[in-house]
A and B are shown apart, each in its own frame.
Chain A
């Protein structure tokens, strides 16, 4: 069956460029999460959507990070004026509802900022 998909899988950006990362959650999943995973570390929470509403963005590291989910399905994580410390794997996960049920992860986008 179709799982969570993310694109692009790999992105190389020059410092200062803007990037947009896309997440297609599992069809019908209400909740969508973005996590950042640095090399050798566990995923760190960035932001959470329930349908189109962004209910928590406390994990976004700076105002250069922006996420949206305008129609309650596909989500985009945008990073403006990328910095080297933004290099990481960005994981998207979806869950069927807003309750703390299992979250299913996508393969991630590996962002490298040079």
Chain B
């Protein structure tokens, strides 16, 4: 079952914050976040393996609520380079190696 991402698209001004959500109807083993720019490969951002785990990288962090089967990606003080499409990929305990990706959230950061 494909995870559902929200919002589908968001436009920010440089310096603003954004939250991207990812929810699944199936129990999750892992959540992986990627950013993809047009015509390029998806770039790995972070992986969350435990319920309640929060990871961070500079001004991008994420949380994983195993009970609610949800993950959220937090972008603070956005930069122009953050523009792109963000995908969450979910892994289940049965097939933790194969990722099931959402349809993506398009993020545009403007000057």
Q: Is the interface of B mostly helix, strand, loop or mixed?
A: loop
Contact-residue size bin, chain B (C-beta under 8 Å from the other chain): 20 to 34
Closest Cβ of chain B to A47, distance in Å, is: 9
Q: Contacts A42-B104, A102-B47 known; A59 to B41 CB distance under 8 Å?
A: no
Contact B44 A103 (CB under 8 A): yes
Q: Contacts A45-B98, A56-B95, A59-B98 known; A107 to B41 CB distance under 8 Å?
A: yes
Contact B49 A100 (CB under 8 A): yes
Residues of chain B whose beta carbon lies under 8 Å from any beta carbon of chain A: 2, 29-30, 32, 34, 40-44, 47, 49, 87, 89, 91, 95-104
Q: Can you give 29 A-B contacts (C-beta < 8 A)?
A: A4-B41, A33-B97, A33-B98, A33-B99, A35-B101, A41-B103, A42-B87, A42-B89, A42-B103, A43-B42, A43-B99, A44-B101, A45-B100, A48-B97, A56-B97, A56-B98, A95-B97, A98-B97, A99-B96, A100-B29, A100-B30, A100-B91, A100-B97, A101-B47, A103-B44, A105-B34, A105-B41, A105-B44, A107-B40
